[in-house]
Amino acid sequence: MFGFLRRKKRKNEAAEVHDDTPQDLNAAGSGGDDTATPAEPIAENDQPAPSPAASALQTDRPAESADAGAPTATPARDDDAGRQETDTESPSPDKAPAVAAPKPEQSGSLFSRLAKTRSGLTEGLGDLFLGKKQIDDDLIEELETRLIMADVGQATTAALIDELTDEVSRKHVNDPEHLFETLYRLMVERLEAVQPTEPPARRQSGRPHVMVVCGINGGGKTTSIGKLAHRFKAGGRDVTLAAADTFRAAAVEQLISWGERNDVRVIGEPGRGDPASVAFDAVSSAKARNSDLLIVDTAGRLHTQSGLMDELGKLIRVISKAEPEAPDEVLLVIDASIGQNALVQARQFNQAVKLTGLIVTKLDGTAKGGIVFAIADELGLPIHFIGVGEKAEDLRPFEPRAFVDALLDRQPD
Ligand SMILES: Nc1nc2c(ncn2[C@@H]2O[C@H](COP(=O)(O)OP(=O)(O)OP(=O)(O)O)[C@@H](O)[C@H]2O)c(=O)[nH]1
């Protein structure tokens, strides 16, 4: 069940227990401090006029085969994403004994890191959902608003709402909880549709796997490369880093510092002027030393700066001269907190250099985590990793089910 529904249900159950129990304030041990308050009333529907999408629910199409079951794809799990109890309410003295005490949330879990986006999507929905036997326009409209607010984007939101209303009209989905399960399934399917079959940074025979990382200034490239180095080094790979962000001496120093912390070799030093030559040297060095993985940092650039975009193309061509099969991956780092602008950036970078995938950073600090769906839907580019904090371990492989579970406050299957 979804956590926000469970929380609401518990509140209602707690209130029922208090309502049904004869109160004996003089009983021994009662302390006379029974402060139980009645459960919050289920919110009345005071929403504005229904949207066209929501109005589609009014159509009374004949029922067809019921097919609104659980997602069919194989579950993928992030080790770190396993979470405990999803109920994050603090226990209060007025809870009925029948209500299980919530367990503490793991601060590093994906669930806790996505708190901002999740709260925008699910907070208060329990009030709107529970107690309703039927799905109505208000519910669909509220859902639509929340998806837009979470930066899922107009087009993707419209597509999701259309599919949901269609399922409802066909009577495949009959109650609010089933509606949410269906939304869950549709969201997971969208992300899984663009995920690669092969994991990133796979081992190549007889040569290093070469990964070029690009993006705009401050998106989190260097930090993400440091985190990647940490992850793959810990996994037993020989990793080399290339400091090809020659525009900013501090970026080179930042990368060297990540290298030192993780005992990873860094090619390039402050003061070198030509990023393509640093990349060429790094490929030659990684080959000579039988490195498993070479990650190339590049200068931040705006997608509108055509000279710098051409330079990125040149860097990639030079890498191919040093190793004809390389680069194996060209990853764009995008900052989730910029919302819909991320789509524009990704489109332009993809036109200039053929991207193979994305790293979406700063999902921990934004309510705009829904951008991940717009990216998958509109660009068709896979998301390989997500950044959910500033520490080395805060880069997680992107796993659609774990991500949507955490986003919708849903207990994993
Ligand atoms: N909260 C949070 N902060 C992040 C994340 N990823 C990166 N940052 C922070 O974002 C800031 C910019 O990160 P950098 O790695 O320097 O960005 P960059 O893209 O290399 O920037 P340039 O070198 O200017 O192109 C730093 O303060 C990082 O700690 C993330 O996933 N979550």
Domain limits of the chain? 209-397
The highest-level CATH class for domain 209-397 is: alpha beta
Q: How far apart are CA 68 and CA 164, in angstroms?
A: 10
- Residue nearest (by alpha carbon) to ligand 1 atom 1: 389
**pLDDT for position 398:** 94
Any binding-site annotation on 221? yes
Ligand 1: residues with CB < 6 A are 215, 217-223, 245, 248, 251, 300, 361-362, 364-365, 387-390, 394
C-alpha distance from residue 17 to each of 84, 88, 97, 129, 222 (Å) = 26, 21, 9, 21, 55
Residue pair 389/361 in contact (Cβ under 8 Å)? The answer is no
Nearest to 296 by CA among 262, 260, 320, 271: 320
In the predicted structure, residue 164 carries a pLDDT above the cut 90:
yes
pLDDT in tens, 79-120: 333 333 333 333 333 333 333 333 434 567 888 898 888 887
Please choose from 349, 390, 395 the residue to mutate so as to test ligand 1's pocket, defined by most ligand atoms within 8 A of CB.
390
Nearest atom within ligand 1 for CA of residue 226? 15
Residue 215 CA, ligand 1 centroid: distance in Å: 11
Distance (Å) from CA 252 to ligand 1 centroid: 14
What is the pLDDT at residue 9?
Answer: 58
389 backbone φψ class: left, alpha, beta (φ>0; ψ -120 to 50)? left
CA distance 302 to 348: 9
Residue 394 Cα to ligand 1 middle (Å): 12
299 is in an annotated binding site: yes
Q: Would you say 368 is a known binding-site residue?
A: no
- d(CA 403, ligand 1 centre) in Å: 21
State the pLDDT confidence band at 331, using cuts at 50, 70 and 90: very high
CB atoms under 10 Å from CB of 170, counted, come to 17
Is residue 310 annotated as involved in ligand binding? Answer: no
pLDDT band at 8 (very low <50, low <70, confident <90, very high): low
Q: Was 301 annotated as part of a binding site?
A: yes
Tell me how far CA of residue 353 lies from CA of 195, 214, 301, 312, 367, in angstroms: 20, 10, 13, 8, 30
Number of CB atoms found within 10 A of residue 197's CB: 5
Secondary structure of residue 314 in the 3-state scheme: helix
Query: Rounded mean pLDDT of 38-66?
Result: 35
Residue of the nearest CA to atom 14 in ligand 1?
A: 220
How far, in Å, is the centroid of ligand 1 from the Cα of 299?
A: 13
Question: H helices within 71-114, ranges in order?
Answer: 110-113
Whose C-alpha lies nearest to ligand 1, atom 21? 218
363 is in an annotated binding site: yes
ω into 50 cis (within 30 of 0): no
Residue nearest atom 6 of ligand 1, based on CA coordinates: 220
Is 364 annotated in some ligand binding site?
yes
**Ligand 1 centre from 358 Cα, in Å?**
15
What is the structure's pLDDT at 246?
87
Please state the atom number of ligand 1 nearest to the C-alpha of residue 250: 23
- Report yes or no: 106 and 86 within 8 Å, Cβ to Cβ: no
Amino acid letter for position 408: L
Helices (H), 115-248: 115-122, 125-129, 137-149, 154-169, 176-194, 221-234
Q: Which atom, in ligand 1's list, is nearest to the CA of 333?
A: 19
The pLDDT assigned to 125 comes to 67
Which pLDDT score, from 0 to 100, does residue 12 have?
Answer: 56
Which atom of ligand 1 sits closest to the CA of residue 219?
19
Q: How do residues 222-279 score in pLDDT, each as one tens digit?
A: 999 999 999 999 999 999 999 999 888 898 999 999 999 999 999 998 888 899 999 9
Ligand 1 centre to CA of 59 (Å) is 49
Q: What does the pLDDT read at residue 46? A: 31
Dihedral through CA 158, CA 161, CA 165, CA 167, nearest 10?
Answer: 110
CA dihedral 362, 366, 368, 369 (to 10 degrees): 50
220 labelled binding-site residue: yes
Question: What whole-number percentage of the chain has pLDDT above 90?
Answer: 43
In this structure, the residue with its CA closest to atom 26 of ligand 1 is: 220
- Given a cut of 50, whether residue 29 has pLDDT beyond it is no
The residue ranking higher by pLDDT, 7 or 32, is 7
